[in-house]
Amino acid sequence: KCTNLLNESAKAKEITIYQKVGHETRVTSDVQILETIVRNLISNSIKFTRHGGNIEIDANIHDNNSLIVSISDNGIGMSPDIQSKLFSLSGKINRKGTEGERSSGLGLLLCKELVEIQGGRIWADSEEGKGSKFYFTIKC
C-alpha cells in the first residue's frame, strides 16, 4: 500500500522499488502507525536517491518476537555528522534532496516517536555517496 502511494514520485525519478516482504509476514500493530513509518522512510529514500536508483524494502522476524524492517537505497548517503543528528530535536538538518526536494528531518523524528510507541527502536547505517539503510523493529 505504501509503495503504491509513492509510486508516482519514484517513477518521476525512474527509481525502482523492490519489496522483499513475504505475504506470510504478520505483526500485531497499529496499521496506520506502521504505514506512516514505512511511508516516511520510503519517501526519504526517494528524495535522496538519484535518477535511476533503487530502493529495497525487507522485513524479517527476529528472535520470534519482533520484526526488523529495513528500507535501503543506493542514494547519496550521509556523513557521520548528519547521522548523529538524525533522530534528535537539537540537531537541525535542512538538506535538499537530489532534485532540490525540501527536507527538515521532522519526518524522522515522527518515525522515531511512532516506533517507540510500538515498543521498537529505529536506527540507520549510511555511507556518503553509497546510500543509506534505515531499520526499525516492532513487536510481533
DSSP of 62-78: ETTTEEEEEEEE-S---
The alpha-helical segments, DSSP class H, found in 75-118 are 80-85, 106-117
Cα–Cα dist 25/17, whole Å: 19
pLDDT at 91: 64
What predicted TM-score, i.e. pTM, was given to this entire model? 0.92
Say if CB 107 and CB 43 are below 8 A apart: yes
List the chain residues with pLDDT less than 50: none
Cα–Cα dist 77/138, whole Å: 25
pLDDT at 122: 97
pLDDT at 23: 66
pLDDT at 15: 97
For 51, the grid coordinates are 535518477
pLDDT at 5: 86
